[in-house]
Chains A and B, each alone.
Chain A
Amino acid sequence: MCTTFFWGKKRRAATRHSSGIMALNADDDFEWTPPSESEMKVIHAQRERQDKISKLMGAYLLKGYKMLGECCEQCGTILLQDKQKKNYCVACQELDSDVDKDNPALNAQAALSQVRERQLASQPVPQANEAPSSDAPLSITGQPRPEHCEGAASGLRGPLPPPANPSPASTVTPSFLPPSTPSIQPVQVGLRQLDMSLLCQLWSLYESIQEYKGAFQDISSSLLSESTFTTENGYSEGEEDDEEEDNDVDNVPRDPPGTSLTLQPTQNSRDQWIKESFHIPL
C-alpha cells in the first residue's frame, strides 16, 4: 500500500519537478543569501524562545495535557488543556510571567531595586546625611523583604531622596521613583501610577489594622485583668453577673491613659474606605 502511494506521487512529482526547478531558477525571490549579523541575532532569539515554548509544551503533553486544535488569540501559541478542561497557553502564562518579575512597571520590588541601583550609580561620592538616611530603611534589612507593601512602605516611610536627575514635570508620579526616561511608554507610567496608588492604600490599611490589633489587645488585656479582679470578688459575693456588668460599665471610661481606643466612629475618609471595603464592624 505504501509502495503504490509513493510511486503514484513520484509520477506526479516528476512533472512538477521540472517545472519546479525552472521556477526555482526564474524566481528572484528564491535567491538565498546568508542572513546578516543582526538578522542572525533576531533569528537566534526567536528560535530560543520557540525552543523554550516547545520544551514546556512537550513536558506538559507528557504530563497528560491535551494539545488542542486552537491557538491563543494573543500570541498564536497552540493551546493546551488539562484534565479539568481548563485551557492553558504556555507562552502567555509561563514565559511572559517569568519575564515580568523583572519588569519594574509591574513589580514594586523590581522598581525599588531599580531605584536603589540608580541611586548607587548616580551618587559617586556618598553624601554624609542625605543619601544614607534615604538608604537606611532599605539597607538595614539587608535582603529585601518579600512583602511588596513592606518594601514600598519602607520607601514611603523614609525621607524622599534628593533627585539625582531633574524630576519630571508631572507631579502625579511619586518623586522617589526614578524619572521617566524617554524609553518608558505612557502605558507603563500609567500602570506604575496605578500600582503606587494601590500600594499606598494597602499600606494605610496595614497600618490601621496594626492599630486596631494593638487596641484590641490592650482592651482584651485590660478586660482580662479587670475580669479576674471582679471574678475573685464575684465568687466571694455570689452575684457575679451583676457585678461584672457594673464593672464593665465602669471600666469603659476608666481606661488607662495611652490606649488609643478607636471604638468611636471616626470621620476619617481612610477609615471610611476601609470600613466599606472590608466590612469591619466598628
Chain B
Amino acid sequence: MRLQPRCLQLDSVLQTVSVLEAVIRRSFGPDGGQVLFTRDTGQTLLTRHGTRILTALRVEHPLARMVVECVRRHSSVTGDGSKTFVLLLASLLREIQKHTRKARQEGAGAKRLAEALLAFGLDELSDVITVAVAPHGSSLSDPHTPGQTDTHTLCRLLSAFLHTRISPTHAEIISQLTCELLSHWSCHGDFINEHFPALHTAVSGFPIGCSRLLEGQVIHADFSTPLPLRDHGPIRALAVTEPLEPSLLIGGTVLELGGANREIESVCVRLGRRLDSVCVILQHLGVSLLLSSVRQSEAFLAAVGRYGVCVLECVCEDDLTLFSVLKDRGRPHSLVVCGLTEGQTEQSVCAVRDALHMLHTTWGPKHRTRATERTARTDVMEPCCVISVGGTFEFLLHHTLLQRKHRHTHSECGCVTLLQRQDRSFPSSPLLRSIVEKTLCPTQTCYYSFTSKEVSCCVYVSIANGISL
C-alpha cells in the first residue's frame, strides 16, 4: 500500500513517540515497574527514572533521539516529569493527528496547530494555571513563619517523589533521611543542591537500612597516611591543590647543573632543606591534616610524617570546595547511602539528587523576568505551590479550559479544544484511573509537586516546541 509522503510523516512521528511511550508506560505511576539494564561487563542499572531508561536504550532513529534529548533537557531543568513528558507528547500527537486527518494538507495543518499550541502554552497557559489551579494547592512555606519551610508538607512531598523513584520499602527510609538532612541544613535547598556530590557518600554492600546521617563532612580521598593519635583538640587542616615539593626531584626529568657547585649532592641537600622549611612552616601553623587534590611525592610524605602531619591525597575537588565554604556554616551533616549492590545504591543516590533538584526548582523560580513583565497582573502566583498527586492537576486544568472554551472566541477554541480533549484523553487512560483510585484511598495520600509555572509550563512548552520543530 503506497502512502503519500506527507501522511507518512505524521504517522511515523506518532509511531516513534508511541514506541517510546510504550517503553515508559510500564514504569509510570506509583506501581510502575523497574527496568534492569545489564551491560556486557556485568554492571547493572536498576531504574524507574524516565530519562535514565530512555538514554540507556539503543536508539539510532533521528526523531527518537531528538525526543530523548528533549526529555533529557527537560529533566535537567526541572528534575522531574520525564515520563509525563513522553506520555503527554504522545497524547498530543494523537489528538493532532485526529484533528488534521481530514485536512487536505495534513502535514502543514499539523504544523500550524502545533505552533498555535506553542503560542497558547507560552502566553496563556501560565495564566490559566495561576487563576484556576494554584488556589487549590498548598504552600511549602510555613504559614506561621513566612520564609521558613513547612517541614510536614516538605516531608510528604519528598516521600511522594521518592516513591516514584525507589521501591516503597526503601523510599520511606531515604525520604526520612533526606528530610533530616534538609532540616539540619535549615532547608537551604540551593546550598545542598549545589554541594550534593560532596555531601553524600555511597556505600555498597550493606542493606539500605544502614543508611544514616553523619555529623560532619565526609572527605573522600584515594590515598591517606595514618593520623597520629593525639589529644582530642581541634585539628587544623590545610587544603592544597599543587604538589608542595619542588618538582625537580620528580623522576624522569633531566637536571642540568650549572653554577659554581656542579655537584648533585649539594643540589639534593638544598632541596631537602627547602622541604624541611615547608614542614617547619606547617608545624608553625599547627597544621596536622593536609588535604591535597593531587598526589604528593614519597619524599614529602616521609618528611611530613616525621612532623606528625597526616596527608590525604587525591581528594575530590567538590570536597575541597565545600571544605573551604563550610567555615561559615556551623556544624555540617552529610548523608551516607547504603545499598546491597552498586545498582541499588546508585538508584537511591540519583533519586535523592533529583529530589533536591526538584525542590530547588520549587523554591526558586527561574522565570522571575516574567513576573516583572506582568506587573499589570494582580494575581502573581507564589513560587512554592504544591498540588496533591493523582490527577488533581489534570482535572482542574481540564475544568478551567472547558469553562474558558465557552467564553472565548472560536480562534482560540481550536487550541483550547485540543488541550481540553487531550486532557480528557489523559485522565481517561486506565493507568491514570487506577492511580486516581489508589491515591484517593485514605491510607495512601501522596503529595506531588506540579510546580505550576515550572514543570507543567515547561512540559507543555517543550512539547509544543518539539512538535513545531
Contact = CB atoms under 8 A, between A and B. Distances in A.
Contact of B15 (A27, A32, A53, A59): A53
Kindly state the interface size class of chain B when it binds its partner: 35 or more
Given A20-B112, A23-B112, A43-B98, A61 B12 contact: no
Nearest to A6: B461
Contact of A3 (B16, B366, B410): B366
Interface in B5-26: 8, 11-12, 14-16, 18-23, 25
Q: Most chain-B CB neighbours within 10 Å: which of A7, A50, A67, A68?
A: A67
A159 to B, nearest CB: 44
Given A20-B112, A21-B116, A54-B18, A32 B99 contact: yes
B134 to A, nearest CB: 20
A9 interface: yes
Contacts of A77: 15
A24 B3 CA distance: 26
Interface in A104-139: none
Interface in A38-70: 43, 47, 50-51, 53-55, 57-59, 61-62, 64-69
Interface string B138-164: 000000000000000000000000000
A69 B60 contact: yes
A76 to B, nearest CB: 6
B59 A55 contact: no
B16 A29 contact: no
A33 B102 CA distance: 9
Contacts of A33: 102
A61 B122 contact: no
B411 A76 contact: no
Contact of B59 (A47, A54, A66, A71): A66
B19 A71 contact: no
B64 A67 contact: yes
Contacts of B62: 69
A54 B73 contact: no
Given A54-B19, A67-B64, A6 B122 contact: yes
A20 B119 contact: yes
Contacts of A220: none
Interface of B: 3, 8, 11-12, 14-16, 18-23, 25, 35, 57-62, 64, 73, 77, 94, 98-99, 101-105, 109, 112, 115-116, 118-119, 122-123, 366-367, 369, 410-412, 414, 417, 461, 465, 468
16 contacts: A6-B122, A10-B122, A16-B115, A20-B115, A21-B116, A25-B410, A47-B94, A54-B15, A58-B25, A59-B22, A61-B59, A62-B23, A65-B58, A69-B60, A69-B61, A78-B12
Interface of A: 2-3, 6-7, 9-10, 13-14, 16-17, 20-21, 23-25, 27, 29-30, 32-33, 35, 43, 47, 50-51, 53-55, 57-59, 61-62, 64-69, 71, 76-78
